[in-house]
Structure 1
Amino acid sequence: MTRKHRPLLVAVVLTLIAALCTAGPSTAAPATFKHPGVLVDKAQLDFARQQVLAGAQPQTAAYNAMKASTYGALSYTPKPRAVVECGSNSNPNLGCSDERNDALAAYTHALLWYFTRDDRYAQKAIQIMDAWSAVLKDHTNSNAPLQTGWSGASFSRTGELIKHLYGGSWAQRTRFETMLRDVYLPEIRNGAGCKNGNWELIMTDAAIGIAVFLEDRAAFDKAVSLWRGRLPGYVYQTSDGAWPKAPSTCSSKDTREEIIDYWQGQSTFSNGLAQETCRDFGHTGWGLTAATHVAETAWHQGVNLYGEAGKRLTDGYYFHTRLENGAAVPANLCGGTVKKGLGPVTEIVYNHYHNRLNQQMPTTLAYTQSKRPAGANYFFAWETLTHADNPR
């Protein structure tokens, strides 16, 4: 080897070493499932618990907010029903709010048990899950798939924590598993077609959580496939072409005009724009965080969807948090006016890309800090507690 070639060889070797050292889980499907591994794993919970025991922030403030919430009251009473009927905008609302709230309360109590080791909290989580598994038979009306996603996401996380961490009795666990398999999964596993993208991403969030909890490999692979087919149809990158791609479950959107209509009339596209940006930031935040939830659960199972997403996820959050933080709205975006209100949806994505991978995301960080401690709403809960500054 000549002396002039040595610097090139050294550079190549260093690049390979860096890649090996920073590589996350592979993109192959898991041979076996890791438990607990729906959104949060034991190492993350142990770290967060130690932070709370030490009085460290922001975890302690997040824990105190969780414990003081109505979802964390030991007097909480579930309101199950056999058929949950949810129309557009939850009208009619026959059990819709009750089911969502009960699922969030169950997850809250599962977390409270882990942090306090007070069995009353675990038994309350079990009581809520058992109440629903005793009676629920169906979700009906136009919002049924979305409602199933909202509630199924929280219920799968609850079941995962109780099944794999709590050593006490759960006599009706099989009945709860049957409910998730027979009532929830069929409603969400095939995606949402041409509905707004937050639907399918929320449904996929629930589907992958249920798949891990049930150790259903086919359902897991199906959820991953839905995510891979939807995310490029939800968050735009210039590498996609002159206009966004259609989601894989929405084959009818195959012209530029149809895509523009689907993207709320937006005809100018830039990195990070979302399919619902010009609808409102609230629904966009749901879509982005649901996509992140899927990637986080997959990460715990050894599937690196975060890596597949490349800059798509971080650009999506940057695009919207920049505007939330006060940047001027461009005249060519949504007619120069946007409806803000992204919500507390950035803890997990910031934790992965910054705390695990050391990417600098100052705009997302500023927004994240302004929303701490993140609470509970619809299908996400207490993520400052479980994921803030937690690279495990």
Structure 2
Amino acid sequence: MSSILSTCINLLLLLSSAYAFNHPGLLVSEADITRIQNKLSAHADPWQASWDKLVSLDNSQSTYVNHAVAGVYRNTANGVKANAELLWHDAAAAFNLALRWKIERNATYAEAASNILGAWGRKLKEFDVGDDEYLTAGLQGYQLVNAAELLRDHAPFESSGNATAFSTMFEKTFLYKNLFFLNHKAPSEHNVRHFFANWELCNMASAMAFGIYTDNATLFDFAVEYFKTGEGNGAVNNGISNLVSEPGTGTIMGQPQEAGRDQGHTGLDFQLFGVVAQQAWNQGKDLYGYNSSRVLLGAEYYARYNLGNDVPFEPYTNGIVSYTTVSPASRGAHRPTWELLYAHYVQIKGLEAPWTELYKNYTTKAMGGFEGGAGSWGEGSGHYDGLGWGSLLHHLDVGDVDAVSSNSSASNSATLSTPSTTSSNKSLVAQTSAYVTTSVPASATTSVLPRSSKSSQKSTVSASTTLQSVLEAKPLPTRVSHMCTRS
């Protein structure tokens, strides 16, 4: 058995390293860093104003001290006290500091970010005893990996043992829960549409981020395929549940799955749609454009309504909740994601998105002239659900568009090569792939090889399916999750 297992792991390593991942390649690319450096050299706004705000924060200083603990809990229950803000703050700090390292090339910021990730890697063991653990695993999961991705070229991150500690912890806690949840193993998922879209989207974002960070094509493809064809509400055709006609114009818009619930959580959906789509885009996968740009159809609906206009509403039910009208609760709420959506759809692709543009302008004005980031615009979980800083990271002027478009075209040409994989990540490729269950459509693994290699693709799918029946999977949690529809 051990020899078979060893052979299978080696095969998974081979298959998972066949795709050439771009690094850094999550929410921030190397081209983004270069553009930001040029804008800051010219003291150009809104980049400069956004940057000035970022570097003024306590959680952006090299003296920042981490708050790593063994258990993170969003709620006070079952004998534990809520303390999730410790992780929210540290995840934001790790990203801010790693971003400062990439832009300023001052190693003290890289060391500070590395120490945050290493501390959590050595201490964290568990999350809530209820379903809220999946929110922590998803929301803070993708944020932490985005920070780690920016430290790839800081050699001491690896040599200090921080990278290994972080990756090992992440695979055992965050990733395991991401995949457990997306494969509908939680008792409360007897109805796969039980949870609102944001729950699945954040777990999808986390799993995808770790797949890219560890050069694991099987894991990356799982997240991509779930976005397209998953059963739950995080899949884009469920997250944007209905197509409706805009009053007065007849333009097709997308009714978001959470629109009947409230606008705050619906806004979170678009923040997370942006994360998943941008991470994939930087790896040559266009999820923004999937199914006639369904994310944009939903963004236009949301923006129109939250700017004070009427929208049509199709009655919605998932078997647990039912809505007959769009909810005015938290109408006009804003989250820092509209710079990204506007830049991609309007500037890079040249599509018409009038409501998205207006909402981007509304959001930046409300936040002081630029999109802020985690820790810059308030406290509470909603202010830390996303990393933000869209005006710094994604804002484009006319002169930037051609360069971004050409870089995007190049990244969308996947080639076979062996990616640069750190030693701490290599051992995780096979381990994490083992958690992608056979319930995933076979096509989820095909982009490991070029699309033209059809015979090779078939072989890859077959090998991957066989591996699932051989590899020893980690036992699934036995804790009973409570029924809830929170967050």
The TM-score with structure 1 as length reference comes to 0.78
Q: CA deviation at 1:338?
A: 4.3
Whole-angstrom CA distance in 2 between matches of 1:362 and 1:331: 20
Select the residue among 341, 355, 374 that pairs with 2:371: 374
Q: CA deviation at 1:356?
A: 1.1
Structure 2: which amino acid aligns with 1:119? A
Alignment of 1:65 onto 2:53: yes
Aligned runs of 1:267-346 on 2, under 5 Å? 271-328=253-310, 334=325, 337-340=328-331, 341-346=333-338
Structure 2: which amino acid aligns with 1:387? H
Alignment of 1:356 onto 2:348: yes
Select the residue among 126, 136, 154 that pairs with 2:124: 136
Whole-angstrom CA distance in 2 between matches of 1:43 and 1:72: 22
SS at match of 1:273: strand
Residues 280, 286 of structure 2: 8 Å contact kept: yes
Structure 2: which amino acid aligns with 1:158? A
SS at match of 1:311: helix
Q: Counterpart of 2:178?
A: 188
Whole-angstrom CA distance in 2 between matches of 1:66 and 1:89: 35
Residues 317, 346 of structure 1: 8 Å contact kept: no
Alignment of 1:384 onto 2:368: no
Q: CA deviation at 1:295?
A: 1.2
Distance change (3 Å), C-alpha of 1:68 and 1:318: same
Moved more, 135-144 or 329-338: 329-338
SS at match of 1:134: helix
Q: Counterpart of 2:420?
A: none
Structure 2: which amino acid aligns with 1:130? G
Q: Counterpart of 1:365?
A: 357
SS at match of 2:33: helix
Distance change (3 Å), C-alpha of 1:89 and 1:117: farther
Residues 301, 311 of structure 2: 8 Å contact kept: no
Whole-angstrom CA distance in 1 between matches of 2:108 and 2:144: 18
Aligned runs of 1:201-240 on 2, under 5 Å? 201-228=201-228, 229=230, 230-238=235-243
Q: Percent same amino acid at aligned positions?
A: 26
Whole-angstrom CA distance in 1 between matches of 2:55 and 2:78: 28
Q: Counterpart of 1:4?
A: none
Q: CA deviation at 1:104?
A: 1.0
The aligned length equals: 333
Moved more, 330-339 or 120-129: 330-339
Whole-angstrom CA distance in 1 between matches of 2:393 and 2:69: 31
Residues 338, 356 of structure 2: 8 Å contact kept: yes
Select the residue among 87, 95, 99 that pairs with 1:111: 99
Q: Counterpart of 2:148?
A: 159
SS at match of 2:72: strand
Distance change (3 Å), C-alpha of 1:317 and 1:335: closer
Structure 2: which amino acid aligns with 1:278? G
Q: Which runs of 5+ in 1 are unaligned?
A: 1-28, 240-269
Q: Counterpart of 2:378?
A: none
Q: CA deviation at 1:167?
A: 4.5
Aligned runs of 1:87-126 on 2, under 5 Å? 87=75, 94-126=82-114
Q: Deviations over 1:240-277 (max 9, x none)?
A: xxxxxxxxxxxxxxxxxxxxxxxxxxxxxx83211111
Q: Counterpart of 2:463?
A: none
Moved more, 86-95 or 200-209: 86-95
Q: CA deviation at 1:317?
A: 0.9
Moved more, 59-68 or 112-121: 112-121
Q: CA deviation at 1:378?
A: 2.4
Q: Counterpart of 1:41?
A: 29
Q: CA deviation at 1:324?
A: 2.2
Whole-angstrom CA distance in 2 between matches of 1:306 and 1:177: 28
Moved more, 65-74 or 330-339: 330-339
Moved more, 154-163 or 88-97: 88-97
Distance change (3 Å), C-alpha of 1:88 and 1:284: farther
SS at match of 2:168: helix
Q: CA deviation at 1:85?
A: 2.5
Residues 100, 379 of structure 1: 8 Å contact kept: no
Whole-angstrom CA distance in 2 between matches of 1:84 and 1:311: 37
Q: CA deviation at 1:75?
A: 2.9
Distance change (3 Å), C-alpha of 1:303 and 1:311: closer
Residues 208, 220 of structure 2: 8 Å contact kept: yes
Moved more, 87-96 or 229-238: 87-96
Distance change (3 Å), C-alpha of 1:90 and 1:115: farther
Q: CA deviation at 1:379?
A: 2.8
Q: CA deviation at 1:70?
A: 2.8
Distance change (3 Å), C-alpha of 1:93 and 1:358: farther
Residues 273, 319 of structure 1: 8 Å contact kept: yes
Q: CA deviation at 1:219?
A: 1.3
Q: CA deviation at 1:328?
A: 3.9
Residues 336, 389 of structure 2: 8 Å contact kept: no
Distance change (3 Å), C-alpha of 1:33 and 1:336: closer
Residues 323, 329 of structure 1: 8 Å contact kept: yes
Residues 133, 176 of structure 1: 8 Å contact kept: yes
Aligned runs of 1:13-28 on 2, under 5 Å? none
Aligned runs of 1:171-186 on 2, under 5 Å? 171-172=160-161, 173-186=163-176
Q: Deviations over 1:342-385 (max 9, x none)?
A: 42221212111112111132321222123222222223221221
Alignment of 1:80 onto 2:68: yes
Structure 1: which amino acid aligns with 2:389? W
Distance change (3 Å), C-alpha of 1:52 and 1:150: same
Residues 304, 311 of structure 2: 8 Å contact kept: no
SS at match of 1:271: strand
